[in-house]
Homo-oligomer: A and B are copies of this chain.
């Protein structure tokens, strides 16, 4: 096979998985941290600062954008990327309610 059976899971499970997948790469975590610190939100700058080829960074940015975690604004020749606040907040909430399901003291085994 090699294809996730999304149809047997709930929309919420699938949505959360998509967001987490976008986060689940050190390069994309690093990109987001850079964007948040606002030292660099331009593809070329990120490429230099992280030490990955421009094409690679562009691809990671696309994935983050597709997942809805960032948005891009055209600024002349370059594009300024920043966090998409609504979805970021949504992810935060969904993740929190998921992670807080665990009752640390009551473990089954």
Contacts and interface: CB of A to CB of B under 8 A. Distances in A.
A6 B4 CA distance: 26
A48 interface: no
A98 B29 contact: yes
A89 to B, nearest CB: 7
Given A83-B107, A102-B85, A4 B23 contact: no
A23 B26 contact: no
Interface residues of A, number: 50
Interface string A1-36: 000111011100110110011011111011001011
Contacts of A43: none
B99 A41 contact: no
